Amino acid sequence: MSSILTFSDQAKTRLKEIMSSDEYKNALGLRISVKSGGCAGMTYDMNYVEQLVDGDEKIEVEGVNVFIDPKAIMYLLGTEMDYKVDKFTSSFVFNNPNETERCGCGESFKI
């Protein structure tokens, strides 16, 4: 496992479920990046990878390829990706010890 980003058991299970579905069987994996935006200034961005991007860091998570944008590495160091399910929603969440602020809706953060 990489020290850039770790994955909870729930996140690993959900990643495997998603990437093994027929809808994403042709995807090479998942790409994680950090973009400017949101009320706190930055947001996590996840997309399916259909073509490799030069420079991406590759992590294999129980058979699923996860690619990390090199520009995002400094923002993700020490972060755990988790998958939470509650009464009305389910989503991947990032438990990032580097965050200094998070917006009220939880969609964006500041470092």
Q: How many CB atoms lie within 10 A of CB 101?
A: 11
Token reading at 53: 């991007």
Q: What is the pLDDT of residues 45-82, one digit of tens each?
A: 999 999 999 999 999 999 999 999 999 998 899 999 99
pTM reported for the whole predicted model: 0.84
Please, what is the average pLDDT of the chain? 85
- CATH number, domain 5-110: 2.60.300.12
pLDDT of residue 98 exceeding 80: no
pLDDT of residue 88 exceeding 80: yes
- 108 falls in which pLDDT band (50, 70, 90)? low
Q: What is the pLDDT of residues 12-50, one digit of tens each?
A: 999 999 999 888 888 999 999 988 876 657 888 999 999
Buried b (16+ CB within 10 A) or exposed e, 19-54: beeeeeeebebbbbbbeeebebebbbeeeebeeeee
Token reading at 27: 């995807």
